[in-house]
Structure 1
Amino acid sequence: MGKWRGLISALTIGALLGVTGPFGSQTAFTPAVRYPFWMVIALVGFGAAVAAERVLQFNWSSKRTAARLVAIAAASAVPMTFFVAWALSVVQPGRTFSPVQLLVLFPFVMLVQLLIARVIFPDGPQTIAAPVERQAAAPEYPPEFVSKLPVALRQDILALEAEDHYLRVHTLHGSALVLMRLADAAALIDPRLGLRVHRSWWVAKDGVRALETRGRAIARLVDDTAVPISRARLSAARAALAD
């Protein structure tokens, strides 16, 4: 319907004007002439109003909708006055318009254009809000992992260490052993929080104080724990943990 709204609106207005026969057309024209006449006027008037609206692309506020419609009607009524005069000369052969008569005709044409503008531009110009870039939510440890820890150790996680089928969770407040594989925990935890640096170790990014590569590569945690970094994972560790 959006594609045909303008055409349907113009035809509706033309039909309405054909029924009411304003400005003396009810008696001046027969129905066979009056209806096509107003249909054509409405269709051309619709095009003129759209063209005027595009030309008058000012920053109208929503409170100035009435002024905007009047401006569109006045601007589009200028060419429409000459078109209406020509259309009348077609349906009434021999009829001509002097400059003064065109000036008299203008306000009547503007009134019709105001009606058309009100129908096709019912509201103020739409303001398209620029998309607001939402800040990504801070990553959190998944509940199914955190719930395995004692309440006192559910924050300030530094690293995870594999111990057979168990997992030792190192925090600033101590450590705890939970029944879980390191591979499962690493796959469960948001990668923005940390990464696996060794087959037996996963480290939290916030828990690493520095990377040391003298001799063998290690991640020095904030509690001074030295976590080994395998050669295969060294490049990824540098990219994620290096200052």
Structure 2
Amino acid sequence: MQLAMREWRQMGKWRGPLSAVAIGALLGVTGPFGSQTSLAPAVRYAFWMVIALAGFGAAVAAERVLPSTAPGRRTATRIIAVAAASAVPMTFFVAWAMGVVRPGRTFSPVQLLGLFPYVALVQLLIARVISSDDRMTVAATVEQPAAAPEYPPEFVSKLPVSFRQDILALEAEDHYVRVHTLHGSALILMRLADAVAVIDPRLGLRVHRSWWVAKSGVRALEKTPGRAIARLVDDTAVPISRTHLSAARTVLTD
């Protein structure tokens, strides 16, 4: 799941530029604003590709500069504001680009004002694409919180109903496991190693070759001459071997 989410985020980095290229290709095909007849096909496609990519950059810059009133959400008003703000520099850029593909073509201040609405329309389309991309990226990066760990059914089903909650510790007794709970203890036919293997490690850890303790069942770790113990909430003293002492200190005292 985490790998899929990471791949989705990597794809999201390119979704905007690829969308701009798609918009440029569409504009190249349709040839709006008289470019269908005034520009040769090769020039027309190149012209609109450059305009779309530059428009994408301008829209992204405007998106970051304009204050957001609702992080993670893009309202219609904000999309229009991004389009209008980015259309200002893009109007001058389009005028310059038009002079490149059509040498000698210049724009007076009045003509620039007339060009602005057409540029703003293109920027509105780009801003809308960016808005959709942001929502998908936010949705993809929000991960659901991990579910609380539970004891597996194959373990719990072996216990009497009254002992299936408030588990404190497991104690090995030959080929059996004694399950200590706040309500007493019960003996089940199961090896301690097998029980530990199926229990979620977030619930507790093995502290001795004969003992496993639940994190919620430990009141404190105590050091006595020659040994360390885990004091359970029912006052039971569980020995901690040297092999497991470091892990016990890390897990049971965090």
Q: TM-score, normalised by structure 1?
A: 0.71
Provide the residue aligned with 1:122 in structure 2: 128
Gaps of 5+ in 2: 1-17, 69-73
* 1:113 corresponds to which of 97, 103, 119: 119
Provide the residue aligned with 2:182 in structure 1: 172
How far is the alpha carbon of 1:81 from its aligned partner? Answer: 3.9
Deviates more, 1:52-61 or 1:148-157: 52-61
Q: Are positions 1:205 and 2:218 aligned together?
A: no
- CA-based RMSD of the aligned residues comes to 3.5
Q: Larger Cα Rg: Structure 1 or Structure 2?
A: 1
Distance verdict in 2 for CA 1:155–1:9, change over 3 Å: same
Contact 2:19–2:129 (8 Å) recurs in 1: no
Distance (Å, rounded) in 1 between the aligned partners of 2:100 and 2:229: 90
Gaps of 5+ in 1: 20-30, 92-96
How far is the alpha carbon of 1:148 from its aligned partner? Answer: 0.5
Contact 1:160–1:168 (8 Å) recurs in 2: yes
Q: Are positions 1:240 and 2:251 aligned together?
A: yes
Distance (Å, rounded) in 2 between the aligned partners of 1:86 and 1:156: 78
How far is the alpha carbon of 1:151 from its aligned partner? Answer: 0.5
Distance verdict in 2 for CA 1:157–1:13, change over 3 Å: same
How far is the alpha carbon of 1:102 from its aligned partner? Answer: 1.4
Provide the residue aligned with 1:151 in structure 2: 161
- Give the secondary-structure state (helix, strand or coil) at the position aligned to 2:200: coil
* 1:58 corresponds to which of 63, 66, 71: 66
More helix per residue: 1 or 2? 2
Provide the residue aligned with 1:218 in structure 2: 229
Provide the residue aligned with 2:171 in structure 1: 161
Q: Which amino acid aligns with 1:58?
A: L
* 1:9 corresponds to which of 11, 16, 26: 26
Provide the residue aligned with 1:77 in structure 2: 91
Distance verdict in 2 for CA 1:221–1:87, change over 3 Å: closer
Distance (Å, rounded) in 2 between the aligned partners of 1:47 and 1:227: 67
Percent identity for Structure 1 against Structure 2? 48
